[in-house]
Structure 1
C-alpha cells in the first residue's frame, strides 16, 4: 500500500514560525550551508532517529528528504517533506555562502 508523503515547498517553510527542521544531507553538505535552526541527521542515519513532534525534512532538492520521510512515516512519526530543498531556499543560511 502506498502512503502519500505530506509535503510543502521551501517558500511555505520560510513562512512557518519555529518549525523543527532536519537536514538529511551529508555532513559536508550541511556544513557548506544550511538553514540556521536545522539539525543535521544524514539520510544513512535517519532510521535510528527518533523525532519529538512534527518535523520538516530537507535536503538539496527534496529527493533524499522524501526517502527519509517514507522511512520515518513507516515508524509512525509525523513528518513533512520540503520540496525544492536547499537548492531553492531563499532564506538565511548558516555556514557556507549561497
Structure 2
C-alpha cells in the first residue's frame, strides 16, 4: 500500500469517527435523567424522528421536528432555553445537536440511546 492510500484511508476513518462522536458542548443524558427533566418548563423537548415514527411512539412533552426539517425550523426554538433532543437510537439526535450548536444554541442536550433506551 502506498502512502497516498494510507492517507486516504486515515481520512475516511477520521471522518466516520468524527460523525459518531458527540458534538463539543453538547450534554449527554440517559433516559433515566430525561425522566427527571421532563417536568422542567425551562427546557424544550424535540424529537427528530420522522412523523410516522413519532406517531407510533412518543414521549409526552416532546415536539416533532424531523431532522431533515430542523435547520429551517430551528428559528421556532428559543436560544435562551435548553434544547433536549431525542431520536430512535441517538444517532440522528447527535447530528441534530451538532446542527443546533452551529446555529448558536448554547444549551443542547442529547438523549443517549434515544427511544430504544426509553422504557
TM-score, normalised to structure 1, is: 0.83
Match of 1:95 in 2: none
How many residues in Structure 1 have an aligned counterpart in Structure 2? Answer: 89
Secondary structure of the 2:26 match is coil
Of stretches 18-27 and 33-42 in structure 1, the one that deviates more from structure 2 is 18-27
- Distance in 2 (CA, whole Å) between partners of 1:57 and 1:22 is 5
Q: Cα RMSD over matched residues?
A: 1.4
Q: Whose relative contact order is higher, 1 or 2, with alpha carbons under 8 Å and at least 6 apart?
A: 1
Q: Which stretches of structure 1, 4 residues or longer, exceed 4 Å deviation after superposition?
A: none
Q: Which has the larger radius of gyration?
A: 2
Gap regions ≥5 residues in structure 1: 91-98
Counting only pairs closer than 5 Å after superposition, residues 1-16 of structure 1 correspond to structure 2 as: 3-16=24-37
Secondary structure of the 1:56 match is strand
Q: 1:55-87 CA deviation, whole Å, 9 max, x = no partner?
A: 100000111000000000011112111101111
TM-score, normalised to structure 2, is: 0.70
Offset of residue 3 of structure 1 = 2.4
Secondary structure of the 1:3 match is coil
User: 59, 63, 66: which is aligned to 1:42?
Assistant: 66
